[in-house]
Chains A and B, each alone.
Chain A
Amino acid sequence: MVHCRLRLLKETVKMTNNRYKKPVSFISEEEMKRRKREVIISVVIVAVVALLTFAENRIIHFGAGIPVSNTILMFILININLLLLILLIFLVFRNLVKLLFDRKRKVMGTKLRTRLVVAFIALSLLPTIVLFFFSINFITTSIEFWFNVPVEQALENSLNVGRSLYWHSEESSRFFMEKISYQITTKGLLDTKNLKSLSRYIQVVQREFNFNAIEIYTNNADRITFALASELEDKPFGVLSADNLQKEIPQKGVRTVSEIIPSGELIRTIGTIPFGSKPANSEAFIVLARLMPPDLANSMSSISRGFEEYQQIKLLKTPIQVTYYITLSIVALLVIFCSVWFGFYMAKTITIPIRVLAEGIRRVKEGDLSVNVPMVADDEIGSLVDSFNKMTKDLRIGRDQLELSARLLQEQNIEIENRRQYMEIVLKNVSAGVITLDSGGFISTMNKSAEKMLNLKSEDILHKSYKKLLDGPLLELAEEVMDNLRISRNDAVELPLKLTIDGRPMSFIMHVNALKDDADRHMGIVMVFDDLTELEKAQRMAAWREVARRIAHEVKNPLTPISLSAQRLKRKYSDRLKESVFDECTQTIADHVDLIRNLVDEFSSFARFPTANPKPCDLPPIIEETLALYKEGHHRINFEFNITDEIPSLNLDRQQIKQAMINLVDNAIASIRNVGRIVITLTHDPILKIVRIEIADDGAGISDEGKTRLFEPYFSTKKAGMGLGLTIVSTIVSDHNGRISVQDNKPKGAKFVIELPV
């Protein structure tokens, strides 16, 4: 039995350990531990069995009537029951402790498990308790009902009836016995000589008083005579033993013994003669017998048996109740523990998949999409796990695709960025100015060339509408261009534009293109403009040189004959006419011819202006020399010469530069009517690598139109001037790879700026 139980427990232990067991061919440390544990468990179980057996032995006393085999069987059953109960309790408490620990450690799923366990316990406790108390109540009521008073009373009454039957029988026998005893004593029938009379007398009495038998014994317990009724005549009729007769007779004088014989119960009432004497003092014993019919005897005995059984059952009332209570309690406990254990089991089967799932979700949350939760059940949770696995798979595929797209997008972005940067660099470095406007007329981009050409900063005008930035004729022009682009089918408009920027006349050729997307929607416009100022100046210069050469060539030829003709007329006719008018006219012709020749020579020299021959020389002495020429002659004009920086030596054609300076100072003096001030400032810009000469006067100034044409030949504001002075200056500066520009001098006058490269 013990062996079986051990095996059973080992199986249980094995079952619980199987999850952790690894198949090993040798005795590993784990296996050793397991064996050790099994040995400990075996020892504990043996001890428990021994203890239980001892306890049972002390508690339970099997009556002698119960066979030994039954006793052993009972022990086995009780032990198994107790062991199972203990095992169950152990499992339940183990799970309970584990749950508490898990709750403390805040293991995932413990809350749900606790809730489920509590729910199961509550669900099982409630009906069990209700049923338990109902059963207890039911048993108590039932037992009370079985032992209710009417039954007991009826039984007792029946018994009393039976008792009174015996009592009456005894009483009647006593009554007659007293009479018979008296007769026998008074008539002296006990004498040996009267033996026949005695026999006759008791036969008569037997018949008269309807006794079934009358016996007379001597005081030595020898039967003298007896009389039998017909029912007993042919049946054996034994004598009473001496002990029975000699026994003490109670106060009332008779004693009754009964005996079961085949024809019924024979009730013999024993008395003494003389009546009431003690057996030792008596002369003889008289026995009156009545035969109770078998049916009545059986009824009497069944009444007696029934009453006895009832009394005995009543005696067992409390033990029966206790037994029922114990049995019920054990069953209730078993049910509760079973349900608790089942609750744990169910909670485990529900929470373990949830925990596994939660673990999976946690890993997914941390970004591990390779999670694959193993299928733990084939129920709804199983399908949930399946869905979760599918979802993670889809997510994984999605993420891979997303990563691929992101990579592609990144590559594209890099390419676009490269292109953008390339475009920006191109735009930045392109000589043409580029300005773009969006569909609303707001300026969206502006390149460096445009900033430089227009002398603007992009941050000042970006994201501003052209309508706000422009005004006057320029706004009208812009509106016209916009309308033109909108109305006409042409996407491009080309127009020349002349502007004065910071007092400098600028000439641009502007290309305005409408931007349209693939769906032919208007996206804005792009303006590309080239600075044609220098180009135009050069073209104009070349044209004027050609004109000058031709004029010089065409005009110079007729001058000599005119001059010679005038000299011949003077020589031949002066003396003859003696007319002063004639002399004056010829002289005027000769003078004006000379004037025209000078003029033509000037043209000729402009047309044949020698190319510069630059050599390294210092600039300030040249300026100082130039100023020295004028300081003496113009006392009312204040000349200033400022050098702010250290001026490096430059590659210059000293003669030409001096010519240019003379022309400029000459112009400035001419613009000042009476009193004035001429300031020459020399600066060096090491970043741009230029030397800047500024000649500012506070004279009349130059109109905007004049500014644009100032450097053209034959443009002069002076009456006697040919308008070639500034043209020559401009040519010299150009030949030195420099720039000349004219600005308004604040608050009045004009300012010429020459920039020469270092």
Chain B
Amino acid sequence: MALLFGLIFFVQSLAFAQNAMLTNIIVTNTRDDLLVYLKVEGAFIEKMKKAILSGVPTTFSFYIRFYQARNFWFDNEVEDIKVTNTIKYDNLKEEFIVNRSWEKSGPQVTRSFDEAQNLMKEVDSLKVVPLKQLEKGGHYQIRAKAKLSKVTLPFYLHYVFFFVSLWDFETDWYTVDFVY
């Protein structure tokens, strides 16, 4: 029995060895809006790539929370945004369809897996909040994290093999503080 538990823990620790992280978090602004750029690194492992190439639709979720920092009190949550990047491989046409929820232009189709991966990893010029909502000289904080939120297996197997989604990842919360 102990062996069984040990085995499960061991396998699990292997799964957790992948270190996904957010990089290139850039907060900038246009004339009207506050924009965020994100990139998740280390999310694609071989197994996940294999799964995607097998036609498993895979979704990355990005959580962006925008806080107004306050002294001696909880920070005020101004905005809570969740965006998703979903990739699906079309075997027949040998092309990747990446659907980014925050892009209005619709799904992007590419034959290059690298390009598709880059599309999945990035969130570009995401509008967080209109600038007019911000106070001049105010302290603000943006917290972001990315995680694999959904792997859809055929025949609803993800309901049965809930503990075998071994390529799961979830990054820590990353924060960027700034004064407007």
Contacts and interface: CB of A to CB of B under 8 A. Distances in A.
Interface of A: 55, 58-66, 70, 74, 85, 89, 159, 162-163, 166, 241, 243, 256-258, 300-301, 303-305, 307-309, 311-316, 319-320, 322-323, 326, 329-330, 333
Q: How many B residues are at the interface, by size bracket?
A: 35 or more
A156 B115 CA distance: 25
Give the top 6 A-B pairs by smallest Cβ distance, nearest first: A308-B55, A311-B54, A319-B164, A304-B92, A60-B163, A309-B154
A521 B75 CA distance: 133
Given A59-B9, A308-B89, A313-B154, 16 more contacts: A55-B9, A58-B9, A58-B12, A60-B163, A61-B162, A61-B165, A62-B162, A63-B162, A64-B150, A65-B152, A163-B92, A309-B155, A311-B53, A311-B91, A312-B55, A316-B153
B1 A326 contact: no
Contacts of A64: 61, 149-150
A677 B93 CA distance: 172
Interface in B128-164: 149-155, 157-164
Contacts of B149: 64
Chain A CB within 10 A, most for which of B5, B55, B94, B163: B163
Chain A CB within 10 A, most for which of B4, B8, B92, B157: B92
A166 B165 CA distance: 34
A66 B150 contact: no
Contact of A89 (B1, B5, B150, B168): B1
B78 interface: no
A85 to B, nearest CB: 7
Contacts of B50: 315
Contacts of B154: 308-309, 312-313
Nearest to B160: A323
Interface in B30-77: 47, 50-51, 53-56, 61
Nearest to A63: B158
Chain A CB within 10 A, most for which of B5, B8, B149: B8
Nearest to B57: A308
B159 A300 contact: no
A63 B150 contact: yes
A8 B106 CA distance: 57
B166 interface: yes
A55 B94 CA distance: 41
A66 B157 CA distance: 11
Nearest to B161: A319
A329 B92 contact: no
Contacts of A258: 93
A327 to B, nearest CB: 11
B162 A163 contact: no
B165 A63 contact: yes
Given A89-B1, A311-B55, A315-B50, A65 B12 contact: no
Contact of A329 (B4, B51, B94, B158): B4
A303 B55 CA distance: 12
B122 interface: no
Contact of B94 (A163, A241, A319, A323): A163
A163 B90 CA distance: 11
Nearest to B16: A58
Given A61-B168, A163-B94, A308 B54 contact: yes
16 contacts: A62-B162, A66-B162, A74-B162, A163-B93, A303-B92, A309-B155, A311-B54, A311-B91, A312-B54, A312-B56, A313-B154, A315-B54, A315-B56, A316-B157, A316-B164, A333-B1
Contact of A312 (B51, B93, B94, B168): B51
A319 B166 contact: yes
A504 B158 CA distance: 138
A159 B90 CA distance: 11
Contacts of B47: 315
A151 to B, nearest CB: 15
A320 B161 contact: yes
Nearest to B15: A61
B94 to A, nearest CB: 7
B13 to A, nearest CB: 9
Given A58-B12, A316-B157, A257 B90 contact: no
A315 B48 CA distance: 10
B55 A59 contact: no
Contacts of B157: 316
Contact of B162 (A60, A241, A301, A326): A60
Given A59-B9, A63-B151, A313-B154, A326 B90 contact: no
Contacts of A315: 47, 50-51, 54, 56
Nearest to B56: A312
Nearest to A319: B164
Contacts of B8: 59, 326
Contact of B164 (A55, A257, A305, A323): A323
Contacts of A305: 55
Contact of B159 (A66, A162, A303, A333): A66
A319 B163 CA distance: 9
A264 to B, nearest CB: 15
Given A59-B12, A65-B158, A313-B154, A304 B51 contact: no
A308 B1 contact: no
A215 to B, nearest CB: 19
Nearest to B157: A316
A326 B4 contact: yes
B132 to A, nearest CB: 30
B93 A314 contact: no
Contact of A316 (B89, B105, B161): B161
B109 interface: yes
A693 B96 CA distance: 162
Nearest to B147: A64
Contacts of B166: 319
B12 to A, nearest CB: 5
A316 B159 CA distance: 13
Nearest to B163: A60
Nearest to A70: B159
A243 B4 contact: no
Interface string B82-116: 00000001111110000000000100010000000
B4 to A, nearest CB: 6
A257 B92 contact: no
A552 B109 CA distance: 191
B145 to A, nearest CB: 14
Nearest to A165: B92
B119 to A, nearest CB: 13
A174 to B, nearest CB: 16
Contacts of A322: 164
B153 A312 contact: yes
Given A55-B5, A63-B151, A312-B54, A243 B105 contact: yes
Contacts of B168: 61
Chain B CB within 10 A, most for which of A55, A61, A257: A61
A331 to B, nearest CB: 12
Contacts of A316: 153, 157, 161, 164
B163 A59 contact: yes
Nearest to A311: B54
A323 B166 CA distance: 13
A241 B106 CA distance: 11
A536 to B, nearest CB: 118
A159 B151 contact: no
A538 to B, nearest CB: 120
Contacts of A66: 158-159, 162
Given A58-B12, A63-B158, A307 B5 contact: no
A156 to B, nearest CB: 10
A320 B164 CA distance: 9
A74 B159 CA distance: 11
A63 B56 CA distance: 14
